[in-house]
Amino acid sequence: MSLYGKSLNALTLQEWRDIFREQPQRLRDIYRQLLASFEESDPAWISLATMQQIDAQIDALECAGGAPADYPLFGVPFAVKDNIDVAGFVTTAACPAFARPAQQDATVVAKLRAAGAIVVGKTNLDQFATGLSGTRSPWGAVPNTFNDRYVSGGSSSGSASLVARGLIPFALGTDTAGSGRVPAGFNNIVGLKPTKGWLSACGVVPACRLNDTVSVFALTVADAETVVRIAAGYDARDDYSRRHPATAPARFAQTPTLGVPDVLEFYGDPLSEAAFRAALAQMQALGVELVTIDFSPFRELAQQLYQGAWVAERTVAVGELLRDNPQEMDPVVCAIISGGQQYSASEAWQAEYTRAALARRIHETLAQVDALLVPTSPTIHTREEIAREPVRYNAHFGYYTNFTNLADLCALALPGPWREDGLPAGITLVARAWHDAALSHFGQRWQQAVGLSLGATSRQMVEPVYVTLSPEYVRLAVVGAHLRGMPLNYQLTERDAVFAEQTTTDAGYRLYALANSTPAKPGLARSDSGAPIAVELWDIPLARFGELVAEIPAPLGIGTLTLADGRRVKGFICEAWALDDATDITEWGGWKAWLARHQQA
């Protein structure tokens, strides 16, 4: 699949943007070719866009005005799991009897289209997002991308398959019990499951409203994070939408600490176990510290999702169809969802109390590490095995995923070392709510280090494209007592600020050692005859920034500094009146250099 000598297979977001910035007039031609390359018989699709639907989306972009560069996703194609509304398409949730035309876009789809992205179709799923196998759909089972004897994982099977084959750069899924992670693990791609409520669920057919999360599949972590940040945000129309509190760190510590379950379960699969052991070794080679944690509360909470009253949430979601036309549902899905009718209100409340108690234990455990590291799935099964034991073997896939939303955690599924039989065996990082940015930053580091192929394509990992710092953080330049190893550095670290890089200002500053300051501090001032001054850049959560500023004593304050590469960041500055009796130390180029030479003198 190519246009004018340029392949359209397995392109990243940036590569798609580059195509349309170079030749925006070719937008319709490219989409004609792209649609022609899709096969209606492909079980990953439930419905494909017509050229008329594509033209309507392009017309809307043109009517909105502006240049391609004004749209962060201009012309980028994407697909949407068919339990998420897209105006002009029928939403089926993989159940023909439920099918209904969508009158408007789900909030996340509307945001992505407003950013310039174009929907090319709706994707197959386990019916009503109930399952982790990708086989419970009247549109057919979606096979594993690498060996069609095996399952693709579900419920977001179609979305994962299309991304893995490089047909589209990203796709939306949903994740209640692991549906945004298991298919990623089985197809060697990235699955980003954000913190609950960060992405609106307005326009999403509910499976379990309290636990549903829109998720993103992509070939790279950078692309997945870009999509999430565009689609995220508070939505008053979603009763469970939440505002980002801007309190979590932007990255893990310089030497990350990851928790590994004290007892690892692989259901007797030595190939999955060997792959995960290889991942642990690679983590240690990256400088990660691995510590053993008590996995029992995670395991117990995971069991609650389908073996207790929580399944009644799925019963409520299906509603009239289950009552009036259960024969129209997939038999396995119907049996699971109808099981919720056996629970009483008292049992539902007790289930919530159990959830809260286990979640508290989980949070206390995760507070001791940067994140939890687990296999995305303990094993994989063939489609024939799933047909024989649809509930038992499907449950295997959720062993390391089912607890995540019940405990209000975020997660990132990553490609990992391969099994010896040629199948992928992904890994997943799980962290406390709102630590999404830290997961993504480390995920980019991991993906670049392991250098695996992208999905099922022959493309290798591209150069890292780190996402611009998000609005939830302030990048702060520190020049003196807040530097690493200095006496006031704790004021940053106790507020979850993390070191980003060491650099210098531009040549327009002078540095002074202030008189009568305890602990000793420098003062930085703008000057027409200055020099580059060494600084450290730290990313501090926005909600903690004001606390830091309140502690800064006169004559110091916070202003805007210009760095050597032209970037402008917040940073420590000094009022001019305090410089009269200060010592000019500009020639030493930085506070630490001056201290070292001063102490040696």
| pLDDT number for residue 113 | 98
Residue 341: Cβ within 10 Å count? 11
- Assess whether 253 and 217 both reside in one domain: yes
Q: How far apart are the first and last CA of the chain?
A: 69
Q: Does some domain include residue 456?
A: no
Residue 179 designated active-site:
yes
Burial of 351 per CB tally in 10 Å (0-12, 13-18, 19+): buried
| pLDDT number for residue 24 | 84
Q: Does some domain include residue 550?
A: yes
The DSSP 8-state label assigned to residue 382 in this structure reads: B
Distance, CA of 257 to CA of 274 (rounded, Å): 22
User: Domain range spanning residue 592?
Assistant: 473-600
- Assess whether 431 and 508 both reside in one domain: no
Which residues face 499 on adjacent strands? 538
- Assess whether 438 and 521 both reside in one domain: no
- Assess whether 431 and 524 both reside in one domain: no
Q: Does some domain include residue 506?
A: yes
Burial of 75 per CB tally in 10 Å (0-12, 13-18, 19+): buried
Core vs surface per residue 186-207: b (16+ CB within 10 A) or e: bbbbbbbbbbbbbbbbbbbbbb
Q: Does some domain include residue 239?
A: yes
| pLDDT number for residue 463 | 66
Q: Does some domain include residue 577?
A: yes
- Assess whether 431 and 580 both reside in one domain: no
| pLDDT number for residue 246 | 97
Residue 598 CB partners (closer than 8 Å, separation 6+):
none
Q: At 162, which helix (H) or strand (E)?
A: helix 157-164
Distance, CA of 375 to CA of 272 (rounded, Å): 8
Q: Reply yes or no: is the peptide bond before residue 417 cis, omega within 30 of 0.
A: no
- Assess whether 429 and 477 both reside in one domain: no
Q: Does some domain include residue 460?
A: no
**Cβ atoms of residues 427 and 368 within 8 Å:** no
Distance, CA of 427 to CA of 413 (rounded, Å): 6
Token pair for residue 98?
Answer: 């439920």
Blockwise average pLDDT, block size 10, the chain, 601 residues:
56 92 88 95 98 97 90 97 98 97 98 98 98 98 98 98 97 98 98 98 96 97 96 97 97 94 98 98 98 98 92 91 94 95 95 97 98 98 98 97 98 98 97 98 94 92 66 96 97 96 97 95 96 98 97 97 97 96 96 83 51
**Cβ atoms of residues 542 and 246 within 8 Å:** yes
- Assess whether 400 and 482 both reside in one domain: no
**What global pTM score does this model have?**
0.95
Residue type for 46, please?
A: I
Q: At 297, which helix (H) or strand (E)?
A: helix 296-307
Q: Does some domain include residue 467?
A: no
Query: Of 417, 450, 483, which one is at a domain's C-terminal end?
Result: 450
**Cβ atoms of residues 341 and 326 within 8 Å:** no
Residue type for 147, please?
A: N
Which residues face 478 on adjacent strands? 536
- Assess whether 526 and 392 both reside in one domain: no
Place of tokens 């520190």: 478
Q: How many domains does the chain have?
A: 2
- Assess whether 363 and 503 both reside in one domain: no
Residue 37 designated active-site:
no
- Assess whether 414 and 543 both reside in one domain: no
Active-site annotation holder among 81, 111, 193, 592:
81
| pLDDT number for residue 472 | 95
Sheet containing 556-562: order of strands: 498-504, 534-541, 473-478, 568-574, 556-562
Residue 290 CB partners (closer than 8 Å, separation 6+):
257, 258, 259, 260, 280, 283, 284, 373
**Cβ atoms of residues 514 and 573 within 8 Å:** no
Q: Dihedral through CA 160, CA 161, CA 164, CA 167, nearest 10?
A: -110
Distance, CA of 102 to CA of 137 (rounded, Å): 20
Q: Does some domain include residue 466?
A: no
Place of tokens 């940036």: 14
Token pair for residue 86?
Answer: 């897209």
| pLDDT number for residue 423 | 98
Active-site annotation holder among 47, 133, 152, 179:
179
- Taking phi over 0 as left and psi of -120 to 50 as alpha, with beta for the rest, 4 belongs to left
Residue 241 designated active-site:
no
- Assess whether 484 and 387 both reside in one domain: no
In this structure, what CATH number is given to the domain that contains residue 528?
3.10.490.10
Active-site annotation holder among 137, 152, 155, 157:
155
Token pair for residue 571?
Answer: 């940073």
**Cβ atoms of residues 48 and 38 within 8 Å:** yes
Instruction: Report the candidate in 113, 145, 175, 117 with the shortest Cα–Cα distance to residue 44.
Output: 145
Which residues face 261 on adjacent strands? 293
In this structure, what CATH number is given to the domain that contains residue 61?
3.90.1300.10
- Assess whether 11 and 148 both reside in one domain: yes
